Each structure stands twice: as structure tokens, then as C-alpha cells.
Amino acid sequence: MRYEVDFLVVGSGIAGLSFALKVAPYGKVCILTKGAADEGSTRYAQGGIAAVMYDSDSFDKHIHDTLVAGDGICDREVVEMTIREAPDRIRELVQYGVNFDRDSSGGHFDLHREGGHSEFRILHHKDNTGEEIERGLLEAARSHPNIEIKERQFAIDIITQHHLGQRVTKHTPGIECYGVYALDCDTNRIDTYLAKVTLLATGGMGNVYSTTTTPVISTGDGVAMVHRARGVLSDLEFMQFHPTSLYNPAEKPAFLITEAMRGAGAVLKDRDGREFMQKYDKRLSLAPRDIVARAIDNEMKLSGKDYLYLDARGIGKKHLIEGFPTIYAKCLSIGIDITRDMIPIRPAAHYQCGGIKVDRNGESSIKYLYAAGECSCTGLHGGNRLASNSLLEAVVYAHNAAMDAIESVKGVPFKNEVPDWNAEGMVLNEEMVLITQTKRELQEIMWNYVGIVRSDLRLQRAFDRLNLIFRETEDLYNRSVLTEPLSELRNLIACAYLIIKMARARRENVGLHYSLDLIEKKV
């Protein structure tokens, strides 16, 4: 089937939905999403969204905290713009119907504080902020007459001059996007979506690693598509590992224990119940994520244990049950009463700071192609994302991209000469085990050699192992009918390759990139 839409959006998390709502008055919008519409990292976000809402805080402080977390390599102008725009975007979320908790008078927002923040500035909805944001935005989008949401539609590749038979390399000037090819997961048919403007809002790539807090849909599809289309990507060596995911080995994704809990007074302890953060940073359990994750990784390696503890008992029973109801209920469901027991935790891949390189308007290096949310790289996070700045970045850049796209959509024709997908000669691959097993292998390689602590040798080993997996999978791809699992596997391999490549190129320890071979070079 062929479809024509003014604005094509791939992804229905906070970034895709925010963009769609903004452009909808100006044309027909189609949102493709590979699972259920509400499935994505957005709905798992617990802590909240950072913004300076009152005089007790200041833009300068939030800017400073963001720059410090980013370890000196944020784009300062982007940081300033994002943080100054934040209050307007928060007010819009409220207008769309999102509820943030308010203080007991019901007037001011109730603000939390998280690691790396010098002030209380995290707007939240209990400890399930993302679920509330997703609910509010999805309801608004579903009731808009110009927005169509199509579930179980898997975008495979963005369409460029390459699909018109032209040779496209990363040096080709003026690469353009004409839409996407997408797999209908129910019929296995590949459809052509022609669009005047396309936004990728495909989220993160946490599933490159064996332990991750991100949902199974986070397979780096947008990044891999842009890589194949020869677009510019950046900063992928900066994968953020959340220090505290609940240790419950059989569970995927790993359940997150929000940083807000440490903000409220929970402390990290070793298996003997002793605090250890004093050995690593004077901010103790409230040090930025990269420092805390490395400290936990080191303690686990020294002791040979596969989890440590977060002790939240000092927060008090009432505050724990009322302030962290989701975590309380989750832990209780596996026999841990957090008002009495310490919580077993370990780090997990959590957030990709890098991605599709975009300018201030959210436009990628490919014309008519925008990106927003976790799949993009704006320069806000630098070497490390400050907690709760990612939902903020997603709404700010969805807004900027929408404003720009509303202008650039004018006068752009559909590229009708784009051919349909050619699946001739392909056979259905019955060997599912090849895909599932390869995925597992890939995730283990990345966890073991390209994780929190790296070295030249580990990166080389990962690269060599990956090469074999890449060749085997491309061979499978070249003779098989395309399916969602195969496409995801190819995308994960592409993302892993890019992470390793960028990690090898980064010759200093900065932010989240930490190599044993570069320790002495740290200034």
C-alpha cells in the first residue's frame, strides 16, 4: 500500500506525540508506532521532568548543574535555550491535560530534587510521571481530527535518493528524506509512506545491553536508519547506566529505582550493610549517575557480588508508601518490604545521550528529516545527562522541530517516483533461534566489553566479535523476508558498531566514557 501524509511521525512517546499535536493544525499527521501506542520509555519514567518554575530557583543554577553533569562538553547555547524554554513547555503539557503533583495548598507544583541538581526542581506525578505524561498526550492526540495513530507499524528505512537508484554516500550533499518504508506487523506487508516532512522519535537503544531499564522496543531503530541513510550521528559512546535498577535477574526490562529515592534520603550500602560512597565522591549517594554507577560497578567487582543495596528505611514508612507507591508495590510483589528491608540493586543501561545529530530546530543532516527525544543528539547532555533533563529535551525539541517543520512543509511535493519495497526472491526464515541467540550474544558482548568501564583491549575484542555477528546477520537478511525481530537485530548490531566506533575514537575519559587506558589522561 502507498500512503501520502504531510507530517509523518515515527514513534508515539513524549517526543512524537508532542510534535504531532503541534503540527496537526497545519496538515495531515500520521504516527507510526511499532507496538501499542503507549509502549516506550516515556511511560516508564518515574522521577519527573526538570524545570525552573519559581524564584526560589534560577535558570543559571539549572544551566550550571546541566553543564557540570555534562562534564564540560555540552553545547552551552543549547543548554541555555532548553532550560529557558522549559517553563513554557511545562505549561503546555498541563494544557494538554497532564497532571503534575501540587503542594498541600494545591497552588504550587510539588518539586522533587534528584542527583546532580542543586535545587528542588523536578515536576512529577507521584513516582509514575511518564505514565501520566503518556496518558495525557495520547488522549489529546487521539481526539485530534488530523492525527492518525497506526499501531504495529514498524519503520524499516527512511527513503532517500538511494531508493531512486542514485549512489548516496556520507559525502553526498543534499540527501533528502521522502518518507519511510514500514512493515505492517500483522500482515507482514511492507508499505510505502510518502511524507513532506518526517520526524524520527524512536527512543533509545538500551537493548544493545543485556541489562537495561528500557522497554523491549528500545532497539535504536531511528539511529540505525539514519546510519544506513548516511546521515550524521554523534556522541553514541555516552551510554548512561542507571546505578540503581532492582536486582531481579529474570525480569526484562529491569525495574528502575528512581534517583528521587536517594534525593529523599536513601543511601547505598555494600552487602555487609556498610556505606561506601565516601570512598568515591563527597556528594556521597547524591553524586551524578556516572560516578555512582562506576562506584557500584567497582564495589561489585571487588566483592565478586552481583548486587548491592539501597537502604531507604530512613525515609520513613509513611513517606515511602505515599511518595513511592509504585516502587513500594513492586518490591513487595517480590517479597521485599522497603520500609523494613534494604533493596537489592545493580546498574543497568538506561539512557543514550547521543544519537541523530540535529540543529537547534531539530533538523538532521538529511533534508526534511527531523529527530527529537532520545534518538536525537542536541548537545544538551554533553558527556552525561542530568537526571530528568531528557523528558524536558524531548518537549523542547519537539516544539522547535514542529515550528520549523510547519514552515518547511510548504511547497514540498510528494516524491511520487519512489518505488515500492522489493521483496522478490526472499524466503521466510524459519530459524528464529538464529535471531534470538545472536541478539543474546550481542547483548552479552556489549555488557562485558563496552559497559561502564572500558579499555582498548575490551573494545577491540567487542569489535572483532561483532564483525562475525554482523556478517552472519547480513547474510540472513539478504535471503530472508523481513520480519520485526530480524530488523531489530540488524538495528541493534548497527548501534553496537557505532557505540564501539565512537568509544574507540574518544581518547579521553569524559562524562560517561571511561576507559582504563585513559585514566592518567584525565585532566
Ligand X SMILES: Cc1cc2nc3c(=O)[nH]c(=O)nc-3n(C[C@H](O)[C@H](O)[C@H](O)COP(=O)(O)OP(=O)(O)OC[C@H]3O[C@@H](n4cnc5c(N)ncnc54)[C@H](O)[C@@H]3O)c2cc1C
Which spans of this chain sit near ligand X (rule: CB under 6 A)?
10-16, 32-35, 39-42, 44-49, 129-130, 154-155, 201-203, 213-214, 217-218, 221, 256, 351, 373-374, 388-391, 394
> Is 289 tagged catalytic?
yes
Q: Which of 43, 113, 289, 490 is catalytic?
A: 289
- Residues making up the chain, counted from first to last: 523
Which is closer to ligand X, CB of 46 or CB of 443? 46
Q: Residue 170 carries which DSSP code?
A: T
Which is closer to ligand X, CB of 203 or CB of 263? 203
Report, in Å, the least distance between residue 14 CB and ligand X: 4
List the beta bridge partners of residue 102: 109
- Shortest CA distance to 496 belongs to which of 227, 183, 199? 227
Strands (E), 56-177: 111-112, 122-123, 147-151, 153-159
Report, in Å, the least distance between residue 193 CB and ligand X: 11
Tell me how far apart the alpha carbons of residues 283 and 369 are, in angstroms, rounded to a whole number.
42
Q: How far is CA 129 from CA 30, 33, 42, 171, in A?
A: 26, 21, 9, 42
Report, in Å, the least distance between residue 454 CB and ligand X: 22
Which is closer to ligand X, CB of 395 or CB of 500? 395
Tell me how far apart the alpha carbons of residues 69 and 384 are, in angstroms, rounded to a whole number.
6
Which is closer to ligand X, CB of 71 or CB of 221? 221
Cis peptide before 253 (omega within 30 of 0): yes
Q: Tell me the H-state helices in 285-349.
A: 289-303, 317-323, 325-333
Report, in Å, the least distance between residue 204 CB and ligand X: 6
Report which secondary-structure segment, H or E, holds 408: helix 389-408
Tell me how far apart the alpha carbons of residues 188 and 437 are, in angstroms, rounded to a whole number.
22
Which is closer to ligand X, CB of 6 or CB of 374? 374
Block residue for cell numbers 563527597: 282
Read off the C-alpha cell for 310. 539501597
Do residues 374 and 394 touch, judged by C-beta distance below 8 A? yes
Tell me how far apart the alpha carbons of residues 371 and 354 are, in angstroms, rounded to a whole number.
12
Do residues 463 and 442 touch, judged by C-beta distance below 8 A? no
Tell me how far apart the alpha carbons of residues 377 and 493 are, in angstroms, rounded to a whole number.
19
Which is closer to ligand X, CB of 32 or CB of 338? 32
φ, ψ for residue 225, nearest 5 deg: -65, -40
Which is closer to ligand X, CB of 20 or CB of 510? 20
Report, in Å, the least distance between residue 256 CB and ligand X: 4
Residue 405 carries which side chain, given as an amino acid letter? A
Our separate counts of H helices and E strands in the chain read 13, 17
Read off the C-alpha cell for 387. 537526571
Instruction: Give the sheet arrangement for strand 49-50, strand by strand.
Output: 49-50, 122-123, 111-112
Which is closer to ligand X, CB of 158 or CB of 462? 158
Report, in Å, the least distance between residue 381 CB and ligand X: 10
Query: Catalytic residues, which ones?
Result: 289
